[in-house]
Chains A and B, each alone.
Chain A
């Protein structure tokens, strides 16, 4: 279906009210089955609106849409603050039958002003569809009939390109507003509403948000991550952040397997809801890959501890360290012990093999990236003996490879070489990481691929390498690489680190656990609810996704907590309307190809202060420094607030009524 009766999209008018035409291409996909057993009547966005049921009330739909705009308006610029309120009120009046006195003309006049002159994306975008409707379909503006009121419900979703790009859907413009407005605790609160690891994420996130930032095309993306860190640090660094146990008490117990970002986030959110949570981890500390995989010069351990272990303990959670699922206990054991739900978040911590001649993980002088980083971690944090003195070769081009070379440098290696089969530009590692590694004197050998190990007395002594070259562009515009004939050569080394990726440990789960996995041993889950094939067992993070990013894990942790709450409260798991909308927006790529009509005034981006390379390679102390308050204000003021609203109008409400018992005080008190 998906064919609108009438509407305007990207300026194109669709009007099939009088003429029934044959098959028409759908403007957008996924609207007719937006939610199961619930008819979609209309859709309103910044780029236009589409009506699927002519009997719905257009006025009421826009009235709801503008109500949300009025709520969301930050209230700083006059046209948006006043205009959104007035449009809402006038639409409500009209909807109630007060149609006289050129009320539609007034609405139109305000809508034009709001769209044309508002300061940020919120105001600029919220009145466009209304203007289209008034321009082409003013005859459809009629007072609301009682029957319409019953069978018409709007769900309005507010978002921005940076929010949708973020796996965790953190309200980026909102916390930037917090910084801009001098409300640093509010800014932090926006982040803590999603997950506890704000300062960690503010240091090491891969920043999908900054890639989506519309300011990127002007003079560079807003330094979103540094602002997040600023907000978090001003509370954590001054020891101003304390959590106390949730006043809500629930009897259900949840076991979280893995104290990594996904597990910690799930535990944090469930504890805030009053559940009893026990966290099991194979290591001695919380943090998972954020702890062992990210060296402390990027993420200091005290920062990580403050917002993982400390927060969970403050909220009343318990840790059971050194406990390995599949070795020390099984999922059945957990069920026997009375846990009402289980969240599996045991990560992907087994290093991938290079698949070359003579390769054997047991060889001396051979390590996978994660194993090497774990040894470094245990040496730096726990004083366990580990020395890196000779020449080190690291194979790989991702962030883990960068962590390995930079750690090897700090451990005192004589020389550190990076081998990568493609070019520097092709490296999946973040640019900042690559530049930092180069500054620290790491020797890059790109377009080079290992073909075998040189082993003497069961000790790696070198690597056989071949030179590669780029092939011509293929039909999809991409280049591949191929080995140059007869280009083999040898590099001596004392340690070879294979940092080409990780895999999920296959032995954690057994077939008798009854939990489905795919051929990479990743747990199969419902992508929306994170339910596994076994009832009451949910899974997320790297053990589902394969080795992915911190913020993906945070997202899984948060969504798993919501699903577990639904499951334990109601016995069934729901897909939230926000999630449906996010899926819909992604499917239709509604943020692609946007440009700025008039470029904003140039404002130099703030650069993150860092320790000089010659100084930082001597130790594992943090490289990046926090920005000054002045810089935080300046950087925050660069945000263009590209908010926009998406509304889907359905026959039945999308928002499930929240059960009265759990409606109030869902959050813990954090007052001093």
Chain B
């Protein structure tokens, strides 16, 4: 079939939308709600208007390009004065019930709505009103993600990513008219299937969804002379945050981050990678012990959203999870005991601040089991976005800083194995390197285990461990949709594995729910960030966790051996079932019907 767009003739297939055909041929039509990367075109913003002349009816017609199939012989115009006026009015209507204070918006400076407003040439906003902003979701203490309806454009991308990409399905479309928006099913994180992975935030075009901002707390700690601030930075932060300051995607800015923290007055600067090395020592030992008893499979436990997922959706598999705490939690515990002791810091004055690519880490830090007497081991978790905000508030431009290096002698060294923790397959590879050494008393020869490095959502491989273990079967999964399939297979007895690595976010931590947001795309930089991680591994002096000298010192001076009683007590944890299904609340439905004016 053939049709004209802006006077040029194009051929197209049956049921291709006007937008698809236009894009394929390099013709721009402004869009807002649509997100091609997750195959989402809900048609709610109605901005992508075009003018259509059809032979069969009297025109012109004005249709939305995203959800209108192009017809044979149609003449589509994307730039007539009328179409441009209509798009501008549409934008005006979208802005009419939108929060007008961009200055206080978490998406300030990086907003898709403003970008689209620019692209349609918006000149004025009449008809503004604020009804429907009331009754906003309260900010529950540890809730990592906050929804603000006054900044919501009802694109439902969050709902789509939660359903289609993660298969968690924690969100529902709530309310009617000007109070329409989204809501966690059941009204709260606890009652809903939500695992706080934060993928909803990653696709939100505005500041409607954002992390609970804790930068102010960190600034307050930095300003307080009584407080000893201890920072840890996750493996994925250094390969992601450079983009915020105009550096190419995947640039390693570890040195600049250290310099920045020092500039801000951080008292102790540690690296979560150290914690990752400790995790490998513990988890590797734990796994070998379980394998000896033919207790299988074992699931990794680094990813807090995965832990939530298991507790809420598959409580029956909780005994299969490694009991080892996550690197963040390990860092918190060791800092407030070992580090405090060795460096003579009063742990009561110590504040552990973790910079993470993750929203679920905020919730993890608040778990009662990961603290002592109500005081959490990790006091504050900043997502990468908050960290960027913190740097801006301190007037720091990362790309102008001279890289610096760690100076802490106890908890900042890391191996190449720890460096790759932030990408899918990384935890597995790190564990294999150490387990191989433990079993055979010698290092693995081909240290970069190629069969673990794919990028499909669910992968499996066989790894030769040697000794009494021989070949072990491992699987790796990133994204919870694949995870669900894998767990179902394990429960059904159709998946035969010894060790399974799960990362809840597609792409792993480098694209976690706490990383920088992209406009109009979903995880566009995964491969570049990942390559940088592999590069860091290659350049690191030691490439196995057990060869990290600070880790060796930790065990020699403090913990004893991996999985010793002390290590077990400090570095392991338990999980509990958190069911989220409830009795059907029909009365609530009736109340809602009545409120709406019921029929």
- A633 close to B (CB within 8 Å): yes
In the complex, which residues of chain A have a beta carbon less than 8 angstroms from the beta carbon of B127? 82, 86, 106, 110
Contact call A84/B585, Cβ cutoff below 8 A: no
Say yes or no for A207: interface residue by CB 8 A criterion.
Answer: no
Q: Is the CB of B169 within 8 A of A113?
A: no
Question: Given the complex, which residues of A lie within 8 Å of B97, measured CB to CB?
Answer: 81-82, 85
- Is the Cβ of A72 less than 8 Å from the Cβ of B585? no
The answer to whether A78 and B44 touch (CB under 8 A), given A117-B86, A598-B63, A599-B69, is yes
Residue of A nearest to B52 (CB): A598
Is B153 an interface residue, CB under 8 A from the partner? yes
- Whether B177 contacts A185 by the Cβ 8 Å rule is no
**Do B173 and A185 have beta carbons less than 8 Å apart?**
no
One of B153, B185, B581, B587 near A78 (C-beta < 8 A):
B153
Contacts of B153 in A (CB 8 A): 78
A149 to B443, CA, bound (A): 90
The digit string for A180-212, where 1 denotes a CB below 8 A from any CB of B, is 111101111110110000000000000000000
**Which of A48-56, A235-243, A470-478 makes up part of the contact surface?**
A235-243
From B44, B94, B185, B593, contact of A190 by CB (8 A): B593
Please name all residues of chain A whose beta carbon is closer than 8 Å to the beta carbon of B584 when the two chains form the complex.
Answer: 185, 188, 235, 240-242, 670
The reply on B590 being an interface residue by CB < 8 A is yes
With contacts A182-B185, A671-B587 taken as known, whether A78 is within 8 angstroms of B89 at the C-beta atoms is no
**CB within 8 Å of B: which of A108-161?**
109-110, 113, 116-119, 157-159
State in angstroms the CA–CA spacing of A71 and B596 once bound together.
6
B177 touches A85 (CB 8 A): yes
**Chain A residue with the shortest CB-CB distance to B68:** A598
Whether A672 pairs with B96 at a CB distance below 8 angstroms is no
Within 8 A of B (CB), among A583-639: 597-602, 629, 633
Q: Is B586 an interface residue (CB 8 A)?
A: yes
Distance, CA A242 to CA B47, complexed state (A) = 45
The answer to whether A193 and B582 touch across the interface, beta carbons within 8 angstroms, is no
Q: Which of B89, B176, B180 has the most CB of A within 10 A?
A: B176
- Given A75-B177, A85-B178, A181-B172, also A672-B582 (CB < 8 A): yes
CB distance from B523 to the nearest CB of A (A): 22
- Complex CA gap A226/B302 in Å reads 41
**Is B43 interfacial (CB 8 A cutoff)?**
yes
Q: Flag if A85 contacts B131 (CB, 8 Å).
A: yes
B325 adjacent to chain A (CB < 8 Å): no
| B window 49-85: CB within 8 A of A | 49, 57, 61-64, 67-69
Chain B CB within 8 A of A76 CB: yes
Residue of B nearest to A71 (CB): B597
CB contact under 8 A between A78 and B176, given known A188-B584, A671-B587: no
Q: Are A671 and B585 in contact, with the CB atoms below 8 A? A: yes
Give the total of A residues in contact with B, Cβ under 8 Å: 66
Contact of B44 among A77, A171, A180 (CB under 8 A): A77
From B63, B90, B94, B169, A629 is in contact (CB under 8 Å) with: B169
* Contact of B159 with A by CB under 8 A: yes
Q: Which of B61, B96, B590 contacts A193 (CB 8 A)?
A: B590
* CB proximity of B74 to chain A, nearest CB, Å: 10
Complex contacts, A159 vs chain B, CB 8 Å: 599
B171 in the interface, Cβ–Cβ < 8 Å?
yes
- Is B583 part of the contact surface with A, judged by Cβ < 8 Å? yes
Chain B residues with CB below 8 A from A182, complex form: 159, 163, 169, 171-173, 185
Shortest distance between the CB of B414 and any CB in chain A (Å): 42
- The reply to whether B590 and A113 contact each other, CB–CB distance below 8 Å, is no
CB 8 Å contact bits of B553-595 with A (1 = contact, 0 = none): 0000000000000000000000000000111111111101100
Given contacts A113-B89, A670-B585, contact A73 B177 (CB under 8 A): yes
Q: Which residues of chain B are near A85, meaning CB under 8 Å?
A: 97, 129, 131, 177-178
**A564 close to chain B: CB less than 8 A:** no
Say how far B167's CB is from chain A's closest CB, in angstroms. Answer: 9
Assuming the contacts A190-B589, A235-B584, asked whether A119 and B46 have C-beta atoms less than 8 A apart, the reply is yes
B221 CB to closest chain A CB, in angstroms?
Answer: 40
Does B94 lie within 8 Å of A82, measured CB to CB? Answer: yes
A189 pairs with B61, CB closer than 8 A: no
Min CB distance A82 to B, Å, is 4
For window 231-284 of A, CB contacts with B under 8 Å fall at: 235, 238, 240-242
A85 to B45, CA, bound (A): 16
Give complex CA distance A185, B97 in Å: 29
Tell me how many residue pairs across A and B have CB atoms closer than 8 Å.
188
Which of B43, B176, B592, B598 sits near A77, CB closer than 8 Å?
Answer: B43
Given A598-B68, A599-B69, are A73 and B176 neighbors across the interface (CB < 8 Å)? yes
Contact B597 A68 (CB under 8 A): yes
A76 in contact with B96 (CB, 8 Å): no
Give CA–CA (A2, B179) in the complex, Å: 40
| B: contact size bracket | 35 or more
Query: Which A residues are CB-close (under 8 A) to B57?
Result: 597
Which residues of B from 126 to 167 have beta carbons under 8 Å from A? Answer: 126-127, 129, 131, 153-154, 156, 159, 163
Residues from chain B with a CB closer than 8 A to the CB of A157 are 599
Q: Please give, as numbers and ranges, the residues of chain B lying within 8 Å of A671 by CB-CB distance.
A: 583, 585, 587-588
Contact of B590 among A68, A70, A189 (CB under 8 A): A189
A75 to B183 alpha-carbon distance, docked (Å): 14
A482 at interface, CB cutoff 8 A: no
Indicate whether B337 reaches chain A with its CB closer than 8 angstroms: no
Once A85-B131, A667-B590 are accepted as A-B contacts, the answer to whether A78 and B46 lie under 8 Å apart by CB is yes
Tell me which residues across on chain B come within 8 A of A578, comparing CB atoms: 599
Q: Which residues of A contact B44 (CB under 8 A)?
A: 76-78, 119
Q: B586 touching A74 by the CB < 8 A rule? A: no
Please state if B62 and A158 are interface contacts (CB–CB under 8 Å): no
Q: Scan residues 70-112 of chain A and give those whose CB is less than 8 A from a CB of chain B.
A: 70-79, 81-86, 89, 106, 109-110
Expressed in whole angstroms, the Cα–Cα distance for A182 and B537 within the complex equals: 44
Q: For the complex, is A535 an interface residue (Cβ under 8 Å from B)?
A: no
- Asked whether A183 and B173 contact (CB < 8 A) given A77-B43, A109-B89, A189-B590, the answer is yes
Residue ID in chain A nearest B15 by CB atoms: A602
Of the candidates B129, B156, B177, B582, the one having the most CB atoms from chain A within 10 angstroms of its own CB is B177
Contact assessment for B180 and A186 in the assembled complex, using a CB-CB cutoff below 8 Å = no
* Contact in complex: A84, B177 (CB < 8 Å): yes
- Please, which residues of chain B bring their CB within 8 A of the CB of A117? 46, 49, 62, 64, 86, 90
For residue A389, CB closer than 8 A to chain B, the reply is no
The complex places the Cα of A82 from the Cα of B163 at a distance, in Å, of 27
Which residues of A (23-54) have their CB < 8 Å from a CB of B?
none
CB distance from A306 to the nearest CB of B (A): 13
Closest to B175 in A: A75
CB distance from B579 to the nearest CB of A (A): 12
A288 to B473, CA, bound (A): 58
Closest to A633 in B: B163
Residue B42 at the chain A interface, CB threshold 8 Å: yes
Q: Which residues of B contact A672 (CB under 8 A)?
A: 582-583, 585
Complex interface bits, B88-102 against A, C-beta within 8 A gives 1, otherwise 0: 011001101100000
Contact A113 B93 (CB under 8 A): yes
Which A residue sits closest to B589, measured CB to CB?
A189
Among B86, B126, B178, B185, the residue within 8 A (CB) of A113 is B86
* Alpha-carbon separation in the docked complex, A78 to B589 (Å): 25
Known contacts A82-B96, A109-B89, A190-B593: A75-B179 contact under CB 8 Å = yes
Instruction: Give Cα A118 to B62, complex, Å.
Output: 11
| CB pairs A–B below 8 angstroms (18 shown) | A74-B180, A76-B154, A76-B180, A77-B46, A85-B129, A89-B129, A110-B89, A117-B86, A182-B171, A183-B589, A192-B590, A601-B17, A601-B69, A602-B15, A602-B69, A668-B587, A670-B584, A671-B585
Known: A82-B96, A119-B43, A601-B17. 4 other contacts (CB 8 A): A183-B173, A599-B69, A601-B67, A671-B588
Q: Interface of B with A (CB < 8 Å)?
A: 15, 17, 42-47, 49, 57, 61-64, 67-69, 86, 89-90, 93-94, 96-97, 126-127, 129, 131, 153-154, 156, 159, 163, 169, 171-181, 185, 581-590, 592-593, 596-599
Sorted nearest first, the 7 A-B pairs with minimum C-beta distance are A189-B589, A75-B180, A181-B173, A672-B583, A182-B172, A82-B93, A235-B584
